[in-house]
Amino acid sequence: MTKARKTELRVPTADQIEQLLRSFSTAPTSVRNRALCGLLWRCGLRISEALALTMGDLDRARGRLVVRCGKGSKSRTVGLDAGAMALVDAWLAMRPAGGRVLFVTLAGKTVSASYCRSMLIRKGAKIGLPGLHPHALRHAFAAGLVREGHSMPTVQKSLGHSSLATTATYLASLGEDEAAEAVASRSWMLPV
């Protein structure tokens, strides 16, 4: 049984997320936060999954990221595109040496989920996206995959969902016009 959502989920567009990513400065914590937000969006990670990533979970050669601490203790492998990898590389160039966890404070401690949530609310408000939260970036990832023409099973697997019904709730943000355009753009003709 799915819980009813108390408030309508606002899923940011790709342009809005790019605006968010551009709003970070070149200070080390901003570079880290930009990389974290980039991974949430481009890999569809939950905040807990992103904060549990270790240095060994990055596979640059294959463009992949291993999520070892997924929901329900499930692991999965997700794609890591060049743009997201560039954000991570910028953070790694500034990241304090030592330790296994990817996203750490400048003192080498693990970044907390509550810090990330409040940081996104603050950053979102500054750029006109009130109430922005980490999970909205995950929803934007799912919607982006569908807009790019990827199948529902691909989206499901990327998100680490056991049920396609759960994945479908992530796509409720896709509008009626978008659905109509997608169907109208299909090509098919009966040979005469």
Distance between CA atoms of residues 170 and 143, nearest Å = 7
The tokens 């899923």 sit on which residue? Answer: 11
CA 7 to chain centre: 21
The closest of 146, 149, 143 to 187, measured between CA atoms, is 149
Catalytic residue list:
46, 71, 135, 138, 161, 170
Give the tokens for residue 26: 């070149």
Q: What element of type H or E holds 59?
A: strand 58-59
Nearest to 35 by CA among 118, 137, 140, 147: 137
Query: Can you tell me which residue has the tokens 């570079």?
Result: 31
The two three-digit tokens of residue 158, written as one number? 């990327």
- Amino acid, res. 9: L
Q: How many helices (H) and strands (E) does the chain have?
A: 9, 3
